[in-house]
Chains A and B, each alone.
Chain A
Amino acid sequence: MALDKITSITGTAVHLPGADIDTDRIIPARYLKCVTFDDLADKHFHDVRYDPEGNATGHPLDDPRFKGASIMLSGPNFGCGSSREHAPQAIYRSGFRAIIAESFAEIFFGNSTTLGMPCLSASREDIDALGAVIGNAPATEVTIDLEAMEVTCGETRFAITMPGSARHALTAGRWDPIQELLDNEGQITAAGEALPYV
């Protein structure tokens, strides 16, 4: 299965500051009542974007200046909590192609990587500085370079990090591992046979 090699992402960005943004906040549990991921677009962060009566709360995601953003900026431990893949699916299906945060919860990180949506870590200072730039000039394009492992936005430039395995998987076009897992059929069978309980 041929996958795109993801070596850079360019687009406008939106900043969602805050620590420990959990996957219940990203996609409330009632939207998990589905047997496909097809209807998750624009459901991301629903309950902080709308009050219980359905009125918009003025969330950055609904600010017209950030409409069309494809890069999300946030704080530490982004995507913590539930393993629901609905969370990165909803973000991806709402047009985002990369997330830059101080750190990521592991399950969310893995789910996003497997979707081909890179999760990059950067320092709080760098993220806040980039947030300030896009706050002043929302149309400014941000470029994430996965080969140089840096972000550029006008005069702003800083280093980003990501585990080597995820970076390799994305840049080599192997972010969905299914084919490689299937190819090792013989080794899988041997491993299973060596385990008495299997």
Chain B
Amino acid sequence: MGKTLYQKVWDAHTVGTLSDGRTQLFIGTHLIHEVTSPQAFGMIRDLGLQVKYPHRTFATVDHIVPTVDQDAPADPLAAEMMDALRRNADDFGVTYFDLGSGKQGIVHVVGPEQGITQPGTTIACGDSHTATHGAFGAIAFGIGTTQVRDVLATQTIAMESLKVRLIKVDGPLKPGVYAKDVALDIIRRLGANGGIGYAYEYGGSTFDNFSMEERMTVCNMSIEGGARCGYVNPDEKTFAFLKGRPYAPGEDEWDAAIERWQSFASDPDADYDDLIEIDAADIEPTVTWGISPDQGISISETIPDPAEAGSEALRASYREALDYMQLPGGTPIKGVKIDVAFIGSCTNGRLRDFREAARFLKGHRVAPGVKAIAVPGSQITAVQCEQEGLDRIFEEAGFEWRAAGCSMCLAMNPDKLVGDQVCASSSNRNFKGRQGSPIGRTLLMSPVMVCAAAVKGEVADAREVFEVDGSDSAVA
């Protein structure tokens, strides 16, 4: 019986078995940021410990960075956090992609961009969206701050092995349907807790044909379905993406690296704990209507009516969501008015996301009264977009073109919803209060659907707004 990539990477990184039965797992790459690391550095200082592998630890600042003027922290607390990261990186010899480096950005955009993210590796970060790096065939997962301490001090964590579920999506996506819709569709099918105890392996021809960016979008949202990590087997696209990047293996090591990376791919006869098969043709542009990422429907459906829920528990959960969202059950999602449009985040803040959005947005105007912001995922992404003139397309359409950061995905910087504003958002979470206002409302969708909503001032079908007929589809 063959092995999955998950099993191979796990085995290669097992240090030993701890007294409680958990595995002591070696973490090859540790990514850190300003929000979840200062306490961990405080703990290792208190214990008199050092960072064990500083050259395998990479830091950047993303969550609290202002996107209008990156160098002007919003308040003394934000400044203190940025200073703490700078000092910790300096004191412990950790590579730090600071604001002035030209390489700063959302940690899950920076890792791949720098070629730090590689197949067959383990990657941990004090951030639940670390699964993003699984797109490269890495086993990557979020950890808490005490575990950040453990990785800093020992380069290992105590962890229980996961089961592996193969999610196979086959066939071409319909025009106007994107990787984001695949992610939202999977979460809708399996539930926000469907992935507890599992690593997700994404496969099938749809994933084979996806770009690395599209694979990252789906892996990124594994955690929204309860799966701590998700991955795609490495292939020629993975290698082509990494070639020549600063931290990727050089020319003289390249062939050996590819051979090693390929050896980690799941064997054809690998044994999976579960299998889910999805026909790509069944996936529609998807929008969330509630307060959990599994509360999503296709653009042509109506918002669920609690009266028709199958159980009392489901009815209560629908009611809670609809009360918060101030939306009536049984009515179309299409036409729901929006106040804010946000394109960015570690889910959809990469060059291809902006390129695809700009392709449709060009020549259109954001509806009066809608505040629209486009926030590149990294400084390098920003430059790439600007070199292609995408920033001008967004600005001419009425979007604000901002500097790199997490921004309105979690609103730890000044980019926040106000009151009960409704935001069409390319981010990953629609939790209560997620976008900075305790009563703010989030509708998750693809970047192109965000553009359609921005232009119409209400949730709209991008295929109608932009007359997508598939003849000119850049969906790869």
A111 to B47, CA, bound (A): 19
Interface pair B144/A105, CB less than 8 Å apart: no
CB distance from B123 to the nearest CB of A (A): 11
Taking A114-B146, A178-B150, A181-B24 as contacts, is the C-beta distance between A107 and B128 under 8 angstroms? yes
Contacting residues of chain A (155-171) with chain B, CB-CB under 8 angstroms: 163-166, 168-169
How many contacting A-B pairs (Cβ < 8 A)? 215
CB distance from A128 to the nearest CB of B (A): 10
- Total interface residues on A, CB under 8 Å, equals 66
- The interface residues of chain B lying within 8 Å CB-to-CB of A145 are none
Query: Nearest residue in B to A82 (C-beta to C-beta)?
Result: B128
Interface pair B193/A80, CB less than 8 Å apart: yes
Contacting residues of chain A (9-45) with chain B, CB-CB under 8 angstroms: 17-20, 22, 24-25, 28-30, 32-37
User: Is B60 interfacial (CB-CB < 8 Å)?
Assistant: no
Could you list 13 further interchain pairs (A-B, Cβ under 8 angstroms) beyond the known A25-B432, A181-B150, A196-B260?
A22-B431, A29-B410, A47-B438, A48-B432, A82-B410, A84-B36, A106-B196, A114-B147, A165-B20, A178-B153, A181-B18, A181-B157, A192-B26
A19 to B36, CA, bound (A): 26
Interface pair B77/A33, CB less than 8 Å apart: yes
Interface pair B20/A166, CB less than 8 Å apart: yes
Interface pair B28/A195, CB less than 8 Å apart: yes
Taking A18-B320, A178-B149 as contacts, is the C-beta distance between A165 and B128 under 8 angstroms? no
User: Is B165 interfacial (CB-CB < 8 Å)?
Assistant: no
- Total interface residues on B, CB under 8 Å, equals 82
CB distance from A130 to the nearest CB of B (A): 17
Interface pair A85/B28, CB less than 8 Å apart: no
User: Is B365 interfacial (CB-CB < 8 Å)?
Assistant: no
Contacting residues of chain B (47-82) with chain A, CB-CB under 8 angstroms: 47, 49, 52-53, 56, 63-64, 75, 77-78, 80-81
Interface pair B24/A195, CB less than 8 Å apart: no
Interface pair B196/A77, CB less than 8 Å apart: yes
- The interface residues of chain B lying within 8 Å CB-to-CB of A34 are 38, 77, 81
Query: Nearest residue in A to B122 (C-beta to C-beta)?
Result: A195
A36 to B39, CA, bound (A): 5
Query: Nearest residue in B to A87 (C-beta to C-beta)?
Result: B144
Main secondary structure of the interface of B (DSSP, over half): loop
Query: Nearest residue in B to A181 (C-beta to C-beta)?
Result: B154
- The interface residues of chain A lying within 8 Å CB-to-CB of B147 are 110-111, 114
CB distance from B43 to the nearest CB of A (A): 8
User: Is A133 interfacial (CB-CB < 8 Å)?
Assistant: no
Contacting residues of chain A (82-109) with chain B, CB-CB under 8 angstroms: 82-86, 88, 103-107
User: Is B298 interfacial (CB-CB < 8 Å)?
Assistant: no
Interface string of A112-141 (1 = CB under 8 A from B): 001100000000100000000000000000
Interface pair B24/A52, CB less than 8 Å apart: no
A174 to B81, CA, bound (A): 31
- The interface residues of chain B lying within 8 Å CB-to-CB of A107 are 128, 142-144, 223, 228
Specify which of A32, A76, A110 is in contact with B144 (CB 8 Å cutoff). Answer: A110
CB distance from A85 to the nearest CB of B (A): 4
Query: Nearest residue in A to B227 (C-beta to C-beta)?
Result: A106
Interface string of B5-31 (1 = CB under 8 A from A): 000000011111011111010101000
